[in-house]
Amino acid sequence: MISETKLQQKIENISQKLELRNITIIKFLKLISSQSNMTSQVLIRKTGLPQSHLYRLIQEFSDILSPKNKFISINKEFSNQVSLYVKKTILENNLHNQKLATIIKEILKDIQPIRPKPNRDLDQFNATIATTIKRIIKLNKNGDLHNKKIAFLGDDDLDSVGAALSHLCNKVTVFEIDDRLNKLITKINEENDLDIEVVKQDLRQSLDDKYLNKYDIVFTDPPYTKEGINLFLNQAIKLIKKSYLGRIYLCYGNSDRAREREIEIQNLILQHNLIIKSKHYQFNKYHGAQSIGSQSSLYVLDWTPATKIIQSDFIKIYTND
């Protein structure tokens, strides 16, 4: 027998040791507990893990796997417990996402009358409430909320509120220059008994050393200038842990008639030696921002051992500078 608590702790330990997301490990367990014809070749194809990583994962679970043979499966002694745990985890996560979406919608709707108007000097455009919800659900589905430390660089869309309302994160920190937003986030934080750390920060200035290399995830919807994106990426890279679990979510949009600008931004991302894990086209919707069709894409960027910052003077980061 293996208890749910013990299995959950085992997954957490393996996640940190192998630098794999919990969601990847759950997928692995689902495959080997629900199907009996799982060879290593099939598992590699279905999980997307390289052979070396898969073998290390198999080794970590060797105490609950059937004796080594052609197929990889859970030992009958543990199969029911593991199968039930996986199904329960997936079901609870789906139900949690549904409930979370409703809660975020209610709270953001309630504060609309006191929400600050976008400051165009800071390139602010409010994303729709539906977009804020989509972002948080995407983070959760990607395994980037549970037990994660997450930082938001700028937060006029109140994404930090959604992340904190999930009650899944180990830490939520907002770095924001706009006092109006900092006061609003603090108000929501106190009224809903959340645990958001709000830091007034001009990102053109140095971050406090105590925040460096401390976050698993950084989310940002920066000014859509090359200098602005470079600055925000630099600060994000300084904040994330140097780990294969380190990830940056970056929003960027441009007119479809100005594709050369997006090429320039994609080249900038690659110059930082970040991996473009995925790009979700027109993921974000905004009130206003007609020049970019009131929408932008969401880039999911993964850390690599070669990831680096790119120096610049950062004098003109906003559109009106």
Strands (E), 120-195: 149-153, 171-176
Distance CA 14, CA 9 (A): 9
Question: For residue 240, what are the β-bridge partners?
Answer: 215
- Structure letter (DSSP) for residue 40: H
Give the HSE-up count for residue 95: Cα atoms under 13 Å, Cβ half-sphere.
6
Run of H or E including 90: helix 76-110
Q: pLDDT (tens digit, 0 to 9) for every residue of the chain, 321 residues total?
A: 678 889 999 999 999 999 999 999 999 999 998 877 789 999 999 999 999 999 999 999 999 998 877 889 888 888 889 999 999 999 999 999 999 999 999 999 999 999 999 898 888 889 999 999 999 999 999 999 999 999 999 999 999 999 999 999 999 999 999 999 999 999 999 999 999 999 999 999 999 999 999 999 999 999 999 999 999 999 999 999 999 999 999 999 876 667 888 899 999 999 999 999 999 999 999 987 767 778 999 999 999 999 999 988 777 888 776
> Does this model's pTM top 0.85?
yes
Distance CA 92, CA 19 (A): 24
| Homologous superfamily assigned to 111-302 | Vaccinia Virus protein VP39 (3.40.50.150)
CATH fold of the domain at 4-89: Arc Repressor Mutant, subunit A (1.10.10)
Strand, helix or coil for residue 232: helix
Distance CA 176, CA 196 (A): 12
Q: Where are the domains of the chain?
A: 4-89, 111-302
